[in-house]
Structure 1
Amino acid sequence: MEDTTLIRCSWCNSSDLYKKYHDEEWGVPVYDDPTLFEFLILETFQAGLSWITILNKRENFRAAFDHFDYKKIAQYSEDKIEELMQNTGIIRNKLKIKAAVSNAQAFMKVQEEFGSFSNYIWKYTDGKPIINNLKTSKEAPATTPLSDEISKDLKKRGFKFVGSTVIYAHMQATGMVNDHAEDCWTRTK
């Protein structure tokens, strides 16, 4: 049974799925490459849509995209892309599907250069989360100079659908930044 006395960031109170994501994942530092890649794919598909839309389809994405196995995704053929275009359980945007393939390829190039994608992405924060002190979650920015910098570098490395807003959302999702409101119960966990 859910504890209704918990104070959470205001954006997550519309559904149990949102609350679960907020309580267990959002803002929790992620250092493993498979999870970082999963969030990168999900965030790129979110571009222009609400996060709850993506969360509601997350398991469909997981099944359709081989459990976010970037090595498999990097090898997707045109036939596989067409198969994904017919999958009503995911966002059927051909440019985003093709971006998932090219992003998997770019992801592996970053791994080769830095030893892991985690080493690459976390170097921007010296391996530690940035803790923002927000009175309310509405104060969280959509972009920052750091997300601008990371976005620019990722694009230079061949990544697609990685604008600064997408990258800042990725940073929040993977705990590179902690934008939980000051009164949110997760600030003290």
Structure 2
Amino acid sequence: MTDSNAEGRCGWCGTTDPLYIAYHDTEWGVPERDARALWEKLILDGFQAGLAWITILRKREGIRDAFDNLDPEIVARYGEDDIQRLLGDARIIRSRAKINAAIRGAQIWLEMRENGEDFSEWLWSFVGGEPIQTNWSDFRQAPVKTAQSEAMAKAMKKRGFNFCGPVIVYAFMQAVGMVNDHQNTCFRHAQVRGMAGPSRKEGA
């Protein structure tokens, strides 16, 4: 574990990068219920596949700008000209497969909305609608995937999402507060638990 625990933080976030520390202190693990914000985070996690999350954090504003503020209604209409523009944009992860996945993800998001399905409610249903609270003393005790992330990944793939395997999905679930995996020595553990309201526990 790193010395970040001396600062009362999870060991994974380190002590030197202010961007990473701010992400840990203000975003990671906070329960997110907004459907569009959840879609954006899912797309960013897809871009992360095979890379470090800090890489995405450093490129996040560039990705948002290149993808029209990650507005699914605009992204869903992207064609080959847009793909070529994005492939030439050094601010993003220039992978045709990941760009295509983002476009298809936007189309699926819109299809669900048009069919009267709430993207947020659908995702949260995989954890029973409330965050799972864990109790790890060391961040490395947390799993890389769970039964819930495997079920969500399977359902996402069935709908047509890509870059959504159970490991990526579990990282997504941690980030958007579907599971509170802040280690119990981290000052955010109790804060995030307090944001959740009544919820069930795992890993105690």
> Do these two structures clear the TM 0.5 threshold for a shared fold by scoring above it?
yes
Aligned AA (2:99): I
1:111 CA drift (Å): 2.7
* Percent identity over paired residues: 46
Instruction: Output the CA distance in 2 between the equivalents of 1:141 and 1:134.
Output: 10
Equivalence for 2:143: 141
Instruction: Output the CA distance in 2 between the equivalents of 1:124 and 1:148.
Output: 10
8 Å Cα contact 1:151-1:163 kept in structure 2: yes
Aligned AA (1:176): M
1:188 CA drift (Å): 2.2
Structure 1 residues 156-171: aligned runs within 5 Å:
156-171=158-173
Equivalence for 1:10: 11
Unaligned runs of 5+ in 1: none
Q: Residue 39 of structure 1 aligns to a residue in which SS?
A: helix
Equivalence for 1:69: 71
1:107 CA drift (Å): 1.6
Aligned AA (1:34): R
Aligned AA (2:61): E
Equivalence for 1:109: 111
Displaced runs of 4 or more, over 4 A: none
Aligned AA (2:98): K
Equivalence for 1:122: 124
Instruction: Output the CA distance in 2 between the equivalents of 1:37 and 1:141.
Output: 23
The verdict on how the C-alpha distance between 1:138 and 1:30 changes in structure 2, with shifts beyond 3 A counting, is same
Pair 1:24-2:26 in alignment:
yes
Structure 1 residues 60-99: aligned runs within 5 Å:
60-99=62-101
Q: TM-score, length-normalised on structure 2?
A: 0.88
Instruction: Output the CA distance in 2 between the equivalents of 1:169 and 1:31.
Output: 16
Aligned AA (2:160): G
8 Å Cα contact 2:8-2:185 kept in structure 1: yes
Equivalence for 2:200: none
8 Å Cα contact 1:84-1:92 kept in structure 2: yes
Instruction: Output the CA distance in 2 between the equivalents of 1:58 and 1:16.
Output: 15
8 Å Cα contact 1:110-1:120 kept in structure 2: no
Q: Say what the alpha-carbon RMSD is for the aligned residues.
A: 1.4
* 1:61-86 superposed Cα distances (whole Å, 9 cap, x missing partner): 11011111011111001100100000
Instruction: Output the CA distance in 2 between the equivalents of 1:116 and 1:65.
Output: 23
Instruction: Output the CA distance in 2 between the equivalents of 1:129 and 1:109.
Output: 26
Pair 1:39-2:47 in alignment:
no
After alignment, is 112-121 or 155-164 more displaced?
112-121
Structure 1 residues 168-183: aligned runs within 5 Å:
168-183=170-185
1:120 CA drift (Å): 0.6
1:115 CA drift (Å): 3.2
Instruction: Output the CA distance in 1 between the equivalents of 2:113 and 2:129.
Output: 16
1:114 CA drift (Å): 5.1
Instruction: Output the CA distance in 2 between the equivalents of 1:73 and 1:7.
Output: 40
Equivalence for 2:54: 52
Instruction: Output the CA distance in 1 between the equivalents of 2:115 and 2:122.
Output: 9
1:123 CA drift (Å): 1.1
